[in-house]
Structure 1
Amino acid sequence: MPVAQPLHPSHHKSLMHEAPNHFRTLAPRNGLHRGQSDNYSGLRPEAVKSNLLRGASADLSEFIWPKDQWPSVSHNDFHMAQELPTVDLSDLHHGSEESREATAKLLVKTFSEWGFVQVINHGVPTEVIEKMQNQARNFFDLPLEQKEKGVASSTSKHEGFGYGVESGFYYAGKPWIDRFQCRWSPVCEIREPVEKVFSPTDAEEFSTSIEDYNGRLDKLAMQILELTAQGLGLPSDTFIKPFNGTAGDCIARMNYYPPCPLSSLTLGLGAHTDPNLLTILSQCKVGGLQVCKNGTWISVKPKPDTLIINIGDTFEAWTNGRFCSVEHRAVVNESEARMSLVYFASPPSKSVIQIPEQLITAKHPLRFRPSFTWEEYKSHLFKRHVGGNGVKTSKEWLRLPAPTSHT
């Protein structure tokens, strides 16, 4: 996968004059050379053990972003007048048809106005979420040399997966993030890299936990797709038909953000939209997710037993813009590590995604390609990113006229 591009050195130098004093005191005393991240002074152990420092400069200047992208809202500022809406999904399991219809319409309204929603009573047991979070924490607590056994080589069929992978997005600076990512479906490829990192017993426990967790998210994703179709007045199977009974093309990811001495100058992940269909996220007790609402960044307060679901570019196009794929980012802090578990759901690569005719009206004229495949969009994304284009321009492809092959 392509990697994030650092700023030009001259830009680093100019920004350092405006940086807080705590940044300028980071230079180590012992003549650090590139790649010797274990010798950084002034960094908490959680950061030193992370792959994100491999190859970094001694002054960490590549992590400084342009000033106009520095976070304006801290990770724990939850005092905005607006809060991310919460939808109770208990009607999925024991509600009447009328209450289910009301939930479906509320979900559609929230995805139309926010693109994000918090869900409770979602059917994923607390103990399953907590067990997966504990397993992820155990992974990131391992020594760096142990975690790096899970790095996929450039010649591996798993390239782009495993430990220490890049996001594939180009940002204006290097993100302060460490991660582990595996393909979940159509073929589960979690066990192979995990077995290189853990002992046989620990590998089995880790793999079983993530398979249980993501298996339940498969079911939740299908339920959300059925509910949103119902809420839009469409047949309930409209958005699940292309899956043909499978989980589609899905990725499981663990994100880890160590304490960061540059928290006012950098980001864990820059502003972006997700290209896929749906994203389901579980975050730990430390805040960091921020959603852009009408040009204002809002910090999402972590809540127990709550999952966060957001719309991706593919779903925005599939609904002809009725749902919105909105920008979000991850901010970091100086004192606490943050972790999130992310499930990216997409339809099977070659299945045709066709905008329902009911969603093309005089009030809502056609805005996106009437049909395309997830594989076509992924191919475009890869080409754009290799070419050095930014994360905010990728979904323009979806707004172009339909390819002749689908007309």
Structure 2
Amino acid sequence: MCDHYMEIKEEKDSRWFNVEYVPQDYIFSQEDRPQNLDVPVCDSFPVIDLAKPIRPIEAILKASQEFGFFQVINHGVPEKTMIDAMNVLKEFFNMPSKEAIGYVPHAKGWIYTNNDHTKDGVYLWRENLKHLCHPLEECIQLWPDKPARYQDIIAAYLLEIQKLSLRILEMIGEGLGLEPGYFNDISEVQLLSSNFYPPCPDPSLTLGILAHQDPSFITLVYQGDSTGLQILKDGRWINVGAISDAFIVNIGNQMEVISNGKLRSIDHRVVTSTHETRSSIATFVNPSFDCVIEPAKVLVNESEPSHYKAIQYKEYVHHNNAFGDYTVALQNVIKLES
């Protein structure tokens, strides 16, 4: 028992982020480095209470137009379900590295990495776990089997995310003037991406995630009490605060297209901290792969023509490298397994 404990402790102590200085491979170019780490949390960031008697459709639309982001509270997802999901993911990331080695997509339906890098070859200051979630009953068996309770807990979490995401999509659709149930048959809680951002010796040199936009309809993020998310608002990066029982919701590229530009998909990134560890669970609510994405017909007329070309979603992810090769490969895994 003692020898086993010492083996795990030594392995954890030697993990890649336990360093005094940021390794050269993790240092971003001057233009990509965060410049305003000390900026206060944005006090005007939209927080929307879903339990109000009148559904907050107007607030959601306003936030989606002005920020491209909002937080929802009193959303109906049980607190225990959220905490269990975060805890089991922390267990996964805290396992000795030999236990958390991922498999390539054609061999197993999930990917773990602690050395993913940008197109410029700079490594991100994070560990990441990705796997597909739809169809849920077929994906579960392809997820990690350690920790032992991972599959059951994450499946329960995703069932709640599915209900909440459809509720939010329905409100967005109603606000845009779309017919009821517009998103029901074309949206999927398709991908889970969990992140572990350990403390960094010098957060001014590196990033947890580089600035990007999401290829989704909407993305729901649970981050608990940890901060680090920044969004680009009016040309300036602003810090998003943490509300322990809230979900952060952001508008993805496909929703911007559906809305014909009325709603905004904006750049966001994750900065690191010298002392705080940030963990997050991002779930991407995407179109089905065969879905053709174009502005909703009710939003297009002579005075407001279409601002986007129609494109099949699987073509979009392929051409934009939005998890493209990864998602296609994992879809093939599911077809082979089912």
In structure 1, C-alpha distance between the alignment counterparts of 2:113 and 2:323, rounded to whole Å: 22
CA-based RMSD:
2.8
1:7-33 deviation per Cα after TM superposition (whole angstroms, max 9, x unaligned): xxxxxxxxxxxxxxxxxxxxxxxxxxx
2:258–2:295 Cα contact (<8 Å) kept: yes
Alignment match, 2:100:
147
Q: Say if 2:159 is the partner of 1:210.
A: no
Alignment match, 2:142:
192
Kindly tell me: are residues 72 and 104 of structure 1, through their superposed partners in 2, closer, same or farther at Cα, counting changes over 3 Å?
same
Kindly tell me: are residues 194 and 348 of structure 1, through their superposed partners in 2, closer, same or farther at Cα, counting changes over 3 Å?
same
In structure 2, C-alpha distance between the alignment counterparts of 1:254 and 1:344, rounded to whole Å: 11
Alignment match, 1:63:
26
Q: Say if 2:243 is the partner of 1:303.
A: yes
Q: Where does structure 2 lack aligned partners over 5 or more consecutive residues? A: 1-8, 326-338
Alignment match, 1:347:
287
Q: Report the CA distance between 1:83 and its aligned residue.
A: 2.8
1:16-63 deviation per Cα after TM superposition (whole angstroms, max 9, x unaligned): xxxxxxxxxxxxxxxxxxxxxx999xxx94xx435x89xx9x971011
In structure 1, C-alpha distance between the alignment counterparts of 2:323 and 2:191, rounded to whole Å: 20
Kindly tell me: are residues 219 and 343 of structure 1, through their superposed partners in 2, closer, same or farther at Cα, counting changes over 3 Å?
same
Superposition pairs for residues 317-336 of structure 1, below 5 Å?
Answer: 317-336=257-276
In structure 2, C-alpha distance between the alignment counterparts of 1:39 and 1:213, rounded to whole Å: 33
Query: What code does the residue aligned with 2:112 have?
Result: Y
Taking only the aligned residue pairs, the percentage that are identical comes to 28
Q: Secondary structure at the match of 2:144?
A: helix
Alignment match, 1:4:
none
Q: Where does structure 1 lack aligned partners over 5 or more consecutive residues? A: 1-37, 387-407
Q: Report the CA distance between 1:152 and its aligned residue.
A: 1.1
Q: Secondary structure at the match of 1:185?
A: coil
Q: Report the CA distance between 1:169 and its aligned residue.
A: 5.7
Alignment match, 1:135:
88
Kindly tell me: are residues 249 and 351 of structure 1, through their superposed partners in 2, closer, same or farther at Cα, counting changes over 3 Å?
farther
Q: Report the CA distance between 1:162 and its aligned residue.
A: 2.3
Alignment match, 1:111:
64
Superposition pairs for residues 274-289 of structure 1, below 5 Å?
Answer: 274-289=214-229
Aligned match for 2:50, one of 89, 100, 109: 89
In structure 2, C-alpha distance between the alignment counterparts of 1:175 and 1:226, rounded to whole Å: 35
1:344-395 deviation per Cα after TM superposition (whole angstroms, max 9, x unaligned): 11121112334222212455331101x3221111121239989xxxxxxxxx
Alignment match, 2:318:
379
TM-score normalised by L of structure 1: 0.71
Query: What code does the residue aligned with 1:206 have?
Result: Y
Aligned match for 1:156, one of 91, 104, 107: 107
In structure 2, C-alpha distance between the alignment counterparts of 1:289 and 1:310, rounded to whole Å: 12
Q: Report the CA distance between 1:315 and its aligned residue.
A: 1.0
Q: Report the CA distance between 1:274 and its aligned residue.
A: 0.6
In structure 2, C-alpha distance between the alignment counterparts of 1:326 and 1:335, rounded to whole Å: 28
Q: Say if 2:174 is the partner of 1:174.
A: no
2:108–2:142 Cα contact (<8 Å) kept: no
Kindly tell me: are residues 172 and 68 of structure 1, through their superposed partners in 2, closer, same or farther at Cα, counting changes over 3 Å?
farther
